[in-house]
Structure 1
Amino acid sequence: MIFKKIKSPILRYLLVVLLAAIISILLFLLSIRFGLWGNIPSKKELSNLEYQKASEVYSADKVLIGKFYLFDRQPIAFEEFPKSLLNALVAIEDERFYNHSGVDYPSLFRVGIKSVLMQDKSAGGGSTITQQLAKNLYPRKDRDIKNLAINKIKEMFIASRLEAMYSKEEILYHYLNTVSFGDNTFGIESAALKFFNKKTKDLKIEQAAVLVGMLKATYGYNPRIHPENSLKRRNLVFQAMYSNGLISQSEKDSLSQIPLKLNYREFNYNDGIAPYFREEVRKQMTEWSKNENEGGADYNIYTSGLKIYTTLDYKMQKMAEEAMKEHLTVLQNSFEKSFGKNAPWLTNKSLITKLVKRTNSYKQLKEKGLSENQILDSLSKKKNITLADWDGEKTSSASTIDSLQHYMKFLNTGSLSIDPTTGAVKTWIGGIDFKYFKYDHISQSKRQVGSTFKPIVYTAAIEKGISPCTYFSAEEVAYKNLKGWSPSNSGTKDEAYLNYSMEEALSNSVNTVAVKVLEEVGILEVIRQANKMGIIEKLPNEPSLALGTGEIKITELAGAYASYVNNSKPVAPFLIQKITNSKDVTIAEFSPKVAEKEAFSADTRQIMIEMMKSTINSGTASRIRSNYNLNNDIAGKTGTTQNNKDAWFVGITPKLVHITWVGLDNHELGFKSTNLGQGANAALPMFALFMQKLNKDSAFNSITKAKFEKPSSAVLELLDCDPVKKDGFLKRLFKNPDKKKTKKFKGN
């Protein structure tokens, strides 16, 4: 009817076009609304917002030491958002946030005029915080410019639904917990920890403004990468807060003068404190979640936001890592100097080639059909490679083979501290650098333990009734039924005339006596004693067992030694105390694994502690007292394996058992001399430096000032004898120290 009243055909045409355009727009909006251009989440879906959350790993003293995640996100409660953070966010991102219902039409109209008609690229996008939340929850899959309008409209519909279902506080809660800060970091809590190493609730206003300022461009305003841009953007946030009456002029001016200061801490897989420990926690958590999920649960350590509370002591771990670096930096230098120009990693071509053939690079080229010469030629080509040493990383021109030669010379370590009463792991160092040496010498390695096995031999002897004051000759013996096997000592020929008490023999680690004690006890009886002390590895049924040829994990050795200060009961080291969900509700707890039965008597325990105290006071580990001036109650044992391949030290205090191994990953390499590679020189200092640090911190007085139990008078009487007896004159006269005594070994 209206068309007939319009006489001008041009006006009628324009009206038809306008109506057609309006109908088309409405149909287009309806098509988006009803999902023809992609699904729009229903109210039911929006009512139960779930997003992937990083799992957090905490030390026993509640320090966040690591995360497991696909997206680094740690949701926190609304109450933990500082008022200054909320004010900054609303002022700079959506100043009419509390007045609109999801879409700010005046702002949208203003942006449309500026960006479309005036071609002003600085006009912004006009998206409200609620629209941005919609985009965070349902990221755009197609970022093509032709789909920009569709995506925007979909986000407007989602935003309207969100506003209808949630309060403004709830929208801010979800937004701040999902928004991206770049570098795979999502949510304000993760960003606060990364850039300022503090929780969101502790952010100062200037720090909150920096993080809010990043939201416009997470790379361009990243304070680590572009500090000047970040500072300008932060001050722009202050200006917006002032313009909205949230801070005064004087506050704006004074805040703008504060310099940008970061405390950047990235939760990187390779870096940070205790990386080997964190990796072992990850492995155990993966196994735990697998078992739980088989029972009907639905846990994912990367997305479920679990909180894993471990046994690790953050301060102790830090001290242990510092001690490791201090010692091995010096030892590495001495190690390389000892070989000089004839170092095997430089001159032993057959060994180098052997190791090259073990590399993935060699195997991949081999699979392609290249000959050995072609492969070696390819791996010898120079390129820019980053190589690391104790001074840090540096890029240089080197080949793959050069890189292998560089890393094959490095001494490595495995170092573990546990609470002997529970087995709780306090420190865990699986290697020197997790980025370059992934192999964990605590959880994965089994090495010959050398003389650190001798206390188990002597424990079995005392349990059998052999008095600690029984004397054994140090004379070297060639055993006829063992193909002439003849264990020797590192002392002089005069040792052939000496007879040691068991205490003196153990404290000075006399090999010949250890074998004779084993022979007296019997190999199988010693193995049974080791089993009682928690060592489950298969041990060699051979006399060399007395010298520690058995290969045992550090964790098992630590658990066995714990029995000497845990009422004769061994323990199994454990890492995780409890697991909670993202709301901190406990879903699993783990109890210490302490043996039910004593592995030996109380008298044996007291005798062994006294004997191992002698190792520290006057034996092979006496530098604990003389060089490091440690006056703590300490017992212990050094260990060195054949050809100086492995250096060991076990330190025992009433409240802490600490084990250190030092050696090379390649079994073909060892220390050039016993003087350098013995346990007392290569491994002991890590414990000594660690104890020095603990002594300086009164927080650890319960460990450092703890005292061993006082031995009974009966035990002291059993130990009351001369440490060494010399052969009589006639016996010395007819004994030739240059000639080995021969006999059959009868300890099977």
Structure 2
Amino acid sequence: MARTSKKAKKPAHSNRKYIIGFWTLFGVGILAVIFIFLLAGWGAFGKMPTFEELENPETNLATEIFSSDGETLGKYYSENRTPIKYEELPQHLVQALVATEDERFYKHAGIDARGTARAAVYLGTRGGASTITQQLAKQLFTEDVSQSFVTRVFQKIKEWVIATRLERQYTKEEIITMYFNKYDFVYQAVGIRSASKIYFDKEARDLNIQESAVLVGMLKNAALYNPIRRPEMVKDRRNQVFEQMQRNGYISEAEMDSLQKLPMKIEFTPEGHDEGMATYFRAYLQGFMKDWIKKNPKPDGSEYSLYRDGLKIYTSIDSRMQKYAENAVTKHIAHLQKEFDRQNKSNPTAPFRDIDESEKESIVESAMKRSDRWRKMKDQGKSEKEIRKSFTEKAEMRVFSWNGTIDTVMTPRDSILYYKAFLQAGMMSMVPQTGEVKAWVGGTNFKHFKYDHVKQGKRQVGSTFKPFVYATAIDQLKFSPCDTLPKSKFTIEAGKHGNQNDWSPKNAGDSDYDGMISLKNALAQSVNTVTARLIDKTGPQPVINLVKKLGIDTDNIPAVPAIALGVADMSLFEMVSAYSTFANKGVYIEPIVVNRIEDKNGTVLYQNTPRTKDVLSDEAAYVTVNLLEGVTQSGSGVRLRGTWAKGRLDYERAVTGYPYDFKNPIAGKTGTTQNQSDGWFIGMVPDLATGVWVGAEDRSVHFPSITYGQGATMALPIWGMYMKDVYADKELEVSKEPFEKPENLSIEVNCSNYGAAKKTEDSVPDELDF
């Protein structure tokens, strides 16, 4: 019988050292991981946020500008971020985020162990491991590095530590909200609210499920998955978001199929400083805010930041009226420009008139030296010869046109002449009783023409100055609109009223000097000789005193009779607020553009207090308004009515909506300066005063004749189009009622049986006794 041998068993203690070794290594590994996390928490791998920083993470918040009707007009920012609350996020947006970025978001405490293990085993080929909380930690407190492997590992450890701290500090809803408020969707769309406005022109709460999927899809890489640059790629990514939502039970398979077939609709509305509504106003407001910030420090003594502190500015601008104003300016000037260009085709000194070649060169020379090109090249140490040469070398450039921006090639010198040829406009509308500015249009295109023609620009006001002369005469001497004066030629001799030379103004029609005329008709027809007679009776200084009380800068207005015809330069801002005093019963109120300023927490930092002063009696103010009503009843403003078609231009009939057919009382005045360089119209109804100026950058750029060059053609149509839209908007409730008549009015305004019937003598003595 063969012998069998048994293999000897190893004693149990022989494996003990391997078991001990394994658990020792495992324990050391665990301790090492814990120690590494402790080191990260202590800041060994870089600065970690403190408890206070976790409680209040530092974020650049945009200052937001609101209209009086609650719309966002624009923002000032270093990052265009305006935070919103969780309650303002639509449910499908939150579901899309969780389904796509972090399926187990509500089950983990900042780190997804399963996701981390999967990423480690498959080296990231089956999805990453970053949770929403980790991504937030990375955005808030760590830097995006792409250096060595070791550096990236330490970066990830910091994210894990911060993520767990965030989870202890905030609720899941707060983390989602912070994440959406922080993410940069590019195109200056930082945060979900800005992204919603810029890509879909709506608030985040109004997003539909397709739009939410687009924005969530962009979270993977907003620069790559951008609907403006790569719409097809973004649509595919959107459909992947729908798949994730279906996989996680947020939508059914049928809903997914239906949604994936829908086209992707983008409503791109950029919010840069050059785009959007009320750009000129926002530029002015920026200066206003910087002045306010200097005078109003924070409680700790530091300055507020207009670009980072998330201030809220509540302005007087009404977004609807601003829209109507911008539309009226754009529509009128675009078409008026066509006629201007047509008349310039045979002009040898185009776009200038009434100058010779040397004067033209002088204008171009001045523009060259004021240009950014000249300044930058000079700062670079270039010689004047080199700088001048650069203005004659052709270069690629993008230039403005009324048909959109044009890519072209021209010399910088030619571009100066090109831009000089464009007509410009300014428009401002305000409530006389409150001073609130409701519309502010400083030009035709802020991106290409930065100069503001509401407050920055000052131009000769022409006949729009005459009501100040009439108002002085009414206030001082109790003149009636029915009193008469001769239209005949009139001279104020040298030495009188500070006049150095004889002054003999001419009327618009050289032969229009016969007979008598009432003050009401004289203002309506803008008779210069009558205005000269009035300032001779009042003297120029009382007129200047009145104008100063009306808020106009008089430092450069000489006390001479010639000011009566509007030779002084004034801003549209000054003129509209001055005229508003007549509609406000003689009480001047300083224009208001900001009603309230709040900090990011809603604490009121500034509340406007109206500043007013009595300038005229309510009687004198009303009589002046009555005079101005005559301008739209029978004078240069009569085209606002629908009953007079004489001399109507084909352009105005086709473009501006003429006849305007206003039936309600309107007080106003047109103005046209010498050589048709400036056209004005200021019109008022009881609760709204609106002024318009039209001209070009240089006064030598103008229409050749009064047909198109007068204020009634250049400026008045803008007022007419604007007011038609304002009245059509019933929510605005702008008055069509008569101006309120003062009680116990002692000056006669009904001329039926008054001195207007006198034809042979001056019914206005040097002083009247009522």
TM-score normalised to structure 1 length:
0.90
Q: How does 1:455-534 map to 2 (within 5 A)?
A: 455-468=467-480, 469-481=482-494, 482-493=500-511, 495-534=512-551
Residues 1:590 and 2:608 are matched in the alignment: yes
Change (3 A) 1:713 1:102: closer
Distance (Å, rounded) in 2 between the aligned partners of 1:485 and 1:569: 34
Residues 1:191 and 2:181 are matched in the alignment: no
Equivalent position amino acid for 2:401 in 1: D
Distance (Å, rounded) in 1 between the aligned partners of 2:21 and 2:687: 94
Change (3 A) 1:503 1:36: same
- Show the counterpart of 1:312: 317
Distance (Å, rounded) in 2 between the aligned partners of 1:674 and 1:497: 23
Q: Offset of 1:496 from its aligned partner? A: 2.7
Secondary structure of the residue that 2:64 maps to in structure 1? strand
The percentage of aligned residue pairs carrying the same residue is 36
Q: Offset of 1:297 from its aligned partner? A: 6.4
- For the 8 Å contact 2:48–2:141, the answer to whether it is kept is no
Q: Which moved more, 1:166-175 or 1:148-157?
A: 166-175
Equivalent position amino acid for 1:474 in 2: K
Q: How does 1:55-454 map to 2 (within 5 A)?
A: 55-115=63-123, 120=125, 123-140=126-143, 142-146=145-149, 147-293=151-297, 296=301, 299-341=304-346, 342-345=348-351, 348-366=360-378, 374-454=386-466
Secondary structure of the residue that 2:725 maps to in structure 1? helix
- For the 8 Å contact 2:142–2:155, the answer to whether it is kept is no
Distance (Å, rounded) in 1 between the aligned partners of 2:234 and 2:725: 40
Equivalent position amino acid for 1:425 in 2: V
Secondary structure of the residue that 1:464 maps to in structure 2? helix
Equivalent position amino acid for 1:32 in 2: A
- For the 8 Å contact 2:503–2:562, the answer to whether it is kept is no
Secondary structure of the residue that 2:405 maps to in structure 1? strand
Equivalent position amino acid for 1:90 in 2: V
Distance (Å, rounded) in 2 between the aligned partners of 1:592 and 1:649: 26
Q: Offset of 1:82 from its aligned partner? A: 2.0
Distance (Å, rounded) in 2 between the aligned partners of 1:717 and 1:25: 94
Residues 1:577 and 2:595 are matched in the alignment: yes
Change (3 A) 1:72 1:351: closer
- Show the counterpart of 1:738: none
Residues 1:619 and 2:635 are matched in the alignment: yes
- For the 8 Å contact 2:483–2:756, the answer to whether it is kept is no
Secondary structure of the residue that 2:49 maps to in structure 1? coil
The CA deviation string for residues 372-422 of structure 1, in whole angstroms up to 9 with x for no partner, is: 554332211111111112111110111111111111111111110000101
Structure 2: gaps (5+ residues): 1-12, 495-499, 645-658, 763-770
- For the 8 Å contact 1:497–1:727, the answer to whether it is kept is no
The CA deviation string for residues 608-655 of structure 1, in whole angstroms up to 9 with x for no partner, is: 122111111111211111343222220101111223222111101111
Q: Which moved more, 1:706-715 or 1:323-332?
A: 706-715
Distance (Å, rounded) in 2 between the aligned partners of 1:58 and 1:206: 28
How many residues in Structure 1 have an aligned counterpart in Structure 2?
Answer: 717
Secondary structure of the residue that 1:392 maps to in structure 2? coil
Distance (Å, rounded) in 2 between the aligned partners of 1:369 and 1:591: 50
Change (3 A) 1:372 1:216: closer
- For the 8 Å contact 1:540–1:549, the answer to whether it is kept is no
- Show the counterpart of 1:556: 574
- For the 8 Å contact 1:319–1:693, the answer to whether it is kept is yes
Secondary structure of the residue that 2:622 maps to in structure 1? helix
Q: Which of 558, 565, 583 matches 1:547?
A: 565
TM-score normalised to structure 2 length:
0.87
Q: Offset of 1:298 from its aligned partner? A: 5.1
- For the 8 Å contact 1:504–1:724, the answer to whether it is kept is no
Secondary structure of the residue that 1:73 maps to in structure 2? coil
Distance (Å, rounded) in 2 between the aligned partners of 1:645 and 1:71: 42
Distance (Å, rounded) in 1 between the aligned partners of 2:64 and 2:14: 72
Change (3 A) 1:201 1:449: same
Q: Which of 601, 608, 613 matches 2:624?
A: 608
Change (3 A) 1:374 1:705: same
Secondary structure of the residue that 2:683 maps to in structure 1? strand
Q: Offset of 1:710 from its aligned partner? A: 4.4
Change (3 A) 1:631 1:187: same
Distance (Å, rounded) in 2 between the aligned partners of 1:375 and 1:182: 37
- Show the counterpart of 2:702: 670
- For the 8 Å contact 1:474–1:497, the answer to whether it is kept is yes
Distance (Å, rounded) in 1 between the aligned partners of 2:585 and 2:492: 38
Change (3 A) 1:44 1:364: closer
Equivalent position amino acid for 2:608 in 1: F
- Show the counterpart of 1:638: 670
Structure 1: gaps (5+ residues): 732-748
Q: Offset of 1:327 from its aligned partner? A: 0.9
Q: Offset of 1:324 from its aligned partner? A: 0.6
Change (3 A) 1:476 1:127: same
- Show the counterpart of 2:647: none
Equivalent position amino acid for 2:147 in 1: D
Q: Which moved more, 1:374-383 or 1:362-371?
A: 362-371
Change (3 A) 1:723 1:437: farther
- For the 8 Å contact 1:422–1:594, the answer to whether it is kept is no
The CA deviation string for residues 437-458 of structure 1, in whole angstroms up to 9 with x for no partner, is: 1111112122221111111101
Q: Which of 578, 583, 586 matches 1:565?
A: 583
Distance (Å, rounded) in 2 between the aligned partners of 1:269 and 1:369: 31
- Show the counterpart of 1:705: 736
Q: Offset of 1:480 from its aligned partner? A: 4.3
Q: Offset of 1:666 from its aligned partner? A: 2.1
Q: Offset of 1:43 from its aligned partner? A: 3.1
The CA deviation string for residues 293-315 of structure 1, in whole angstroms up to 9 with x for no partner, is: 17636532211222211111111
Distance (Å, rounded) in 2 between the aligned partners of 1:717 and 1:332: 41
Equivalent position amino acid for 1:451 in 2: S
Change (3 A) 1:200 1:472: same
- Show the counterpart of 1:744: none
- For the 8 Å contact 1:274–1:429, the answer to whether it is kept is yes
Distance (Å, rounded) in 2 between the aligned partners of 1:7 and 1:709: 108
Equivalent position amino acid for 1:53 in 2: L
Distance (Å, rounded) in 2 between the aligned partners of 1:385 and 1:602: 56
Secondary structure of the residue that 2:296 maps to in structure 1? helix
- Show the counterpart of 1:658: 690
The CA deviation string for residues 291-348 of structure 1, in whole angstroms up to 9 with x for no partner, is: 2117636532211222211111111111111111111112112222223232434863
Q: Offset of 1:566 from its aligned partner? A: 1.0
Distance (Å, rounded) in 1 between the aligned partners of 2:454 and 2:666: 23
Change (3 A) 1:92 1:479: same
